């Protein structure tokens, strides 16, 4: 599925992602959610039900680097959506950043 520059979504790529900030201590109290740092590539996926754009955290296109995602994500997503996440490869020993490169 080829990438398009204009998708039928209310949010158009590229957009600047929110970036994590290093802190000295985890905040205390209710209302906080945490997730582990994954060793992969940060990506924002834009899918309008037809076209797909995979964007790096630096707002550069990732489609050409991950053609298998460009092909497989539309089957998994099934409906228009914008997803911010991490591209990782999970192996028998855990996440494999070397294989991802």
67: its two tokens: 């053609």
Has 78 been annotated as catalytic?
no
Q: What are phi and psi of 81, to 5 degrees?
A: -165, 155
Say how far apart CA 13 and CA 33 lie, in whole Å: 27
The tokens describing 27, both together, are 């905040």
Catalytic residue chosen out of the listed positions 21, 37, 60, 78:
37
Residues classed as catalytic: 37
């Amino acid at each position: 599925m080829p990438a398009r520059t204009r998708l039928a979504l209310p949010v158009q790529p590229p957009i600047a992602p929110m970036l994590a900030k290093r802190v000295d201590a985890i905040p205390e109290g209710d209302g906080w959610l945490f997730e582990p740092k994954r060793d992969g590539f940060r990506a924002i996926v834009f899918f309008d039900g037809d076209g797909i754009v995979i964007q790096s955290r630096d707002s550069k296109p990732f489609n050409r680097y991950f053609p298998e995602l460009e092909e497989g994500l539309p089957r998994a997503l099934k409906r228009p959506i914008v997803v911010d996440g991490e591209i990782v490869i999970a192996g028998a020993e855990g996440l494999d950043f070397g294989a991802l490169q």
